Amino acid sequence: MKKIDFVFLVDDDAIVQFSVRRLLEKSGKVNSVAVFSNGEEALMELNHLQSNKANLPELIFLDLNMPVMDGWEFLENIKSNSACSKIPVVILSSSIDPEDKQKANLFDLTTFIGKPLSISQIDSIVLELSSSIE
């Protein structure tokens, strides 16, 4: 199974940041994780990487409810950018609102997972990502 080189984690909750980062590291399936507290910070880093012709993340874990720029605004921004629009996004949310899941389906390459994230879910995501690349 392929290993994911670089992942973005965008979530404003420090406990979620810590636990998801640890899970990703413990899974052995991810080499590097960059953590951001809101969509604006992550978007600025994506723009920076893109302008410097650096590698973009292969996967983004995204919370929906955050200050400054929420997950929906972040998705709108990256999906309008041709270089970033192909990055798979896993919405990692505590939302149980069926409308959020329906709205997530409108974005191509987006998966909706409820918090908390598990190692088996990481395995499934990496397997799915690997098979879509090959």
Assess whether pLDDT exceeds 60 at residue 134: no
Residue 59's contacts (CB-CB under 8 Å, 6 or more residues apart) are 4, 7, 8, 87, 88, 89, 90, 125, 129
What is the average per-residue pLDDT within 43-66? 94
What is the average per-residue pLDDT within 92-119? 86
Residue keyed to tokens 């918090």: 115
* Portion of the chain with pLDDT greater than 90, in percent: 63
What is the average per-residue pLDDT within 44-59? 94
CA angle at residue 94 from 6 to 109, to 5 degrees? 45
- Label residues 81-106 b or e (16+ Cβ within 10 Å = b): eeebeebbbbbbbebeeeebeebbee
What is the average per-residue pLDDT within 8-16? 96
Categorize the per-residue pLDDT at 129 as very low, low, confident or very high, splitting at 50, 70 and 90. Answer: confident
- Taking alpha carbons only, the member of 90, 95, 128 closest to residue 110 is 90
What is the average per-residue pLDDT within 90-105? 88
Residue 29 near residue 124 (C-beta atoms within 8 A): no
Assess whether pLDDT exceeds 90 at residue 82: no
- Taking alpha carbons only, the member of 27, 29, 45 closest to residue 37 is 45
Assess whether pLDDT exceeds 90 at residue 131: no
Model-level pTM? 0.92
